[in-house]
Structure 1
Amino acid sequence: MLSVKAAVARSKGGPFSVEDVLLGQPRADEVLVRLVATGLCHTDLLARDQILPPGLPAVLGHEGSGVVQAVGEAVTTLAPGDPVVLAPMSCGSCRPCLTGHPMHCVSFLPLNLRGRRADGSTAYRDAAGAGISGHFFGQSSFADHVVAHQRSVVKVRADAPLELLGPLGCGLQTGAGAVLGVFAAPPGSSLVVFGAGPVGLAAVMAARIAGCTRIIAVDLHRGRLDLALELGATDVLDGGQDAVAAAVVELSGGGVDFALDAVGLPRTARAAVESLTTGGTAGIVGSAGTGQDLSVGLVQMLGRTVKGILQGDSVPALLIPRLLDFFMAGRFPLDKLIRPYPLADINQAVADATGGTTVKPLLLHHAEG
């Protein structure tokens, strides 16, 4: 087994502990990846707080980018030295997977949140040899090296700046995939985004690429609203005001074509629906955890569509390289969202993210070989 540094969540709501973890060798259909950088996502904190599984202790993290170190004998599309971005796991054989919707895989939750491989095993053990939860979203990238199934590993172009790209595998593909794929927002259309965090700002950038002429961002933090304007929003609104949906309708001249809730609270999801014009579509991509109910008037649903969207309903092997090409062309400036931290400073990164001073913390790894 390989000894690697990892940030381990050991207690509900407690700090991450950076320690030595033992990592097994890749199986026939797996890949060993040396991590360069990993984004910190709100979902990692939901798992740390045990609002979501897996059980603790666990190596979390699911926005990793790095370099392939070794591949199993059944892997034919990847080789040592390949630059890669990691993405969630899918089964590859269910109806959604076979019809181009792997992020809506019927086994998505057990494959990505159980903390184990599909057969119940784990490649992760603590220094004493006891098994710990891993394989989080197909990776557990709060570690210097990971073992991931080949379906979770996306090869990217050779000149890719890997130190920036981890968030493409989750938050950024979620927001951008909703706009470019699920909505397929046409030029001249209008969009409101509730929540100007990484997911919402990715949606703003994607809307500008799509040619939306009115892009409204709603948030509680003035700094994030200013960033939204820099990234392409035409208008911003304070999310703390009363009747924010009515303000969107007035600002857009009768309601928007598309609304994206990147927060995941009942009030923001309802506001997304209430912001629509007739014929509009609302997408719910945020989640504050289970037990949240949405109440919407039936009349408000007439002529409107509401979709729950997981991971942008993307095919990561297609969308991630596409977003990278947009970034390299200066059209998807994801670097404006990012602040780097050493892995050892993960708890400071958490504090800055939850305090709203950092939009997207990026943990830098320094493992070699």
Structure 2
Amino acid sequence: MKIKAAVLNGLHQPYEIEELELSEIRDDEVLVRIVASGMCHSDDVVRQGYTEYQMPIVLGHEGSGIIDKVGKNVVGYEPGDHVVISFAYCGHCDSCLTGLPASCDDWNHLNFHGKRKDDTPYLTKSDGTPVTRFFGQSSFSTFAVVSPSSLTKVDKSVDLRLVGPFGCGFLTGSGTVFNGLRPEPGSTIAIFGTGAVGLAAMMAAKISGCTKVIAVDIHDHRLELAKELGATHTINSKNADVKEAILELTHGKGVNYSVDTTGVNAVVRNSIDVLAVGGSVAPVAAAREMEINTTNDFTMQNRNLVGARMGKAVPQLSIRQMVDFYKAGNFGFDKLAKFYTFDKINEAAEESLSGKVIKPILIMDETYAPEA
């Protein structure tokens, strides 16, 4: 079928809206009409060449939409279901069976191989050039062929234009706290970086009962929003010594938990140095190599370095949980969003990179309206 998609034809290039051919679904696949898609830093990581992918490629991995067709072997989904699209997983390896689908044995192939297992493409140009699929969906498009494991059904009263980022950015941020760090009520936490991932982590920390939730950033307007969403304290690291400020806030002990969402080595270093004895840090951003003294930084302080790919989440559980928190007024993620029409994708990318917008969301289906 013919679809429209934002194609990246080369590194550092603008997105180009093109007509592509999307292959027919197979028996174990689902066709989703994309209503909207969030833009995530991981999309730009590919665009800037920090990871290698075959070009041309259609990016996008925070899609939401309505199921159009299901393969005959698919159970639990039917046309008309409203869904959020997240990562794909096999469902039967040891990690999947023990509730850790983000550690799936087949993770890389399902999400980043870009083609089917028989090497046929999902997407092609009119001249037959194959186009690489991204993160199991390529949601910068009007339709996507996905695995059922990528889908989470949501109530039709939920605004599909908002919830696509639940599939990655907000899932990663909140899940890192809920599933990775698991802070106890009354504990303290510092969140470095107040973008979408950081603010989701911060809101999760507030829900978890942390009594001191410290947001660290270099942008005052983001720190103001962090206060509005639940930060008990904010620190502008341009104007203050972060370690000194956090030690003062915690009576010289340091925080029990910290999350780095920046990937900046000096900031990652700070996220370790501000930990109390026995504290845990979760670095979730793509960072360059850096030196860590395992003895001094961790062993002698009884500290923990926690990995939490995709927030160690089961999307079908965590996405519904975030929806419930939002309905209860505890997860105000909608305050981070700005909508753009699909043809404004390059403007959205620019405003995201500049820090002007925290969570750009592209609207592919402008006729959509949530049900009352």
State TM-score, norm by structure 2. 0.94
| Residue number among 283, 289, 313 corresponding to 1:292 in the alignment | 289
8 Å contact 2:114–2:136 — kept in the other structure? Answer: no
Aligned residues: 365
Which amino acid is 1:81 matched to? G
Cα distance in structure 1, aligned partners of 2:291 and 2:83:
38
8 Å contact 1:62–1:139 — kept in the other structure? Answer: yes
Cα distance in structure 2, aligned partners of 1:245 and 1:292:
22
Deviation of the 1:300 alpha carbon:
2.5
| Residue number among 200, 203, 225 corresponding to 1:202 in the alignment | 200
- Secondary structure of 1:232's partner? coil
Partner of 1:176: 174
Cα distance in structure 1, aligned partners of 2:297 and 2:244:
13
Which amino acid is 1:300 matched to? D
Which amino acid is 1:216 matched to? I
Cα distance in structure 1, aligned partners of 2:366 and 2:70:
18
Which amino acid is 1:212 matched to? C
Deviation of the 1:224 alpha carbon:
0.8
Identity of aligned residues (%): 39
8 Å contact 1:266–1:294 — kept in the other structure? Answer: no
- For 1:157-212, what per-residue CA distance to the aligned partner results, in whole angstroms no more than 9, with x for missing partners? 22211110000000001010011111222211111011100000001111111111
8 Å contact 1:266–1:295 — kept in the other structure? Answer: no
Partner of 1:214: 212
Which amino acid is 1:55 matched to? Q
Cα distance in structure 2, aligned partners of 1:296 and 1:220:
27
Partner of 2:148: 150
Structure 2 residue runs without a partner (length 5+):
none
Deviation of the 1:147 alpha carbon:
0.3
Which amino acid is 2:37 matched to? T
Matches within 5 A, 1:128-139: 128-134=127-133, 136-139=134-137
Partner of 1:362: 361
Cα distance in structure 1, aligned partners of 2:121 and 2:244:
50
- For 1:84-136, what per-residue CA distance to the aligned partner results, in whole angstroms no more than 9, with x for missing partners? 000011222332212111112233233322222344332111122221101x1
8 Å contact 2:180–2:307 — kept in the other structure? Answer: no
Matches within 5 A, 1:318-337: 318-337=317-336
8 Å contact 1:64–1:169 — kept in the other structure? Answer: yes
Cα distance in structure 1, aligned partners of 2:26 and 2:367:
21
Matches within 5 A, 1:264-303: 264-288=263-287, 291-296=288-293, 298-301=295-298, 302=300, 303=302
- For 1:245-274, what per-residue CA distance to the aligned partner results, in whole angstroms no more than 9, with x for missing partners? 332222222111110011123222221111
State TM-score, norm by structure 1. 0.95
After superposing the two structures, state which structure 1 stretch, 80-89 or 154-163, moved more.
154-163
8 Å contact 2:181–2:306 — kept in the other structure? Answer: no
Cα distance in structure 1, aligned partners of 2:366 and 2:28:
24
- Secondary structure of 1:137's partner? coil
- Secondary structure of 2:61's partner? coil
Which amino acid is 2:21 matched to? L
Which amino acid is 1:298 matched to? T
Matches within 5 A, 1:1-369: 2-134=1-133, 136-241=134-239, 243-253=241-251, 254-288=253-287, 291-296=288-293, 298-301=295-298, 302=300, 303-366=302-365
8 Å contact 1:337–1:359 — kept in the other structure? Answer: yes
Deviation of the 1:243 alpha carbon:
4.2
Which amino acid is 1:58 matched to? I
Structure 1 residue runs without a partner (length 5+):
none
8 Å contact 1:53–1:114 — kept in the other structure? Answer: no
Deviation of the 1:367 alpha carbon:
7.2
Deviation of the 1:46 alpha carbon:
0.7
Deviation of the 1:33 alpha carbon:
0.3
- Secondary structure of 1:330's partner? coil
After superposing the two structures, state which structure 1 stretch, 258-267 or 7-16, moved more.
258-267
**RMSD, aligned CA:** 1.6
Deviation of the 1:242 alpha carbon:
6.4
Cα distance in structure 1, aligned partners of 2:239 and 2:107:
36
8 Å contact 2:43–2:59 — kept in the other structure? Answer: yes
- Secondary structure of 2:131's partner? coil
Cα distance in structure 1, aligned partners of 2:212 and 2:46:
36
Deviation of the 1:343 alpha carbon:
1.0
Cα distance in structure 2, aligned partners of 1:322 and 1:367:
27
8 Å contact 1:144–1:367 — kept in the other structure? Answer: no
Distance 1:324 1:285, change over 3 A: same
Which amino acid is 2:342 matched to? L
Deviation of the 1:368 alpha carbon:
7.3
Cα distance in structure 1, aligned partners of 2:117 and 2:158:
31
Which amino acid is 1:260 matched to? V
Which amino acid is 2:132 matched to? S
Deviation of the 1:36 alpha carbon:
0.8
8 Å contact 1:176–1:203 — kept in the other structure? Answer: yes
After superposing the two structures, state which structure 1 stretch, 250-259 or 209-218, moved more.
250-259
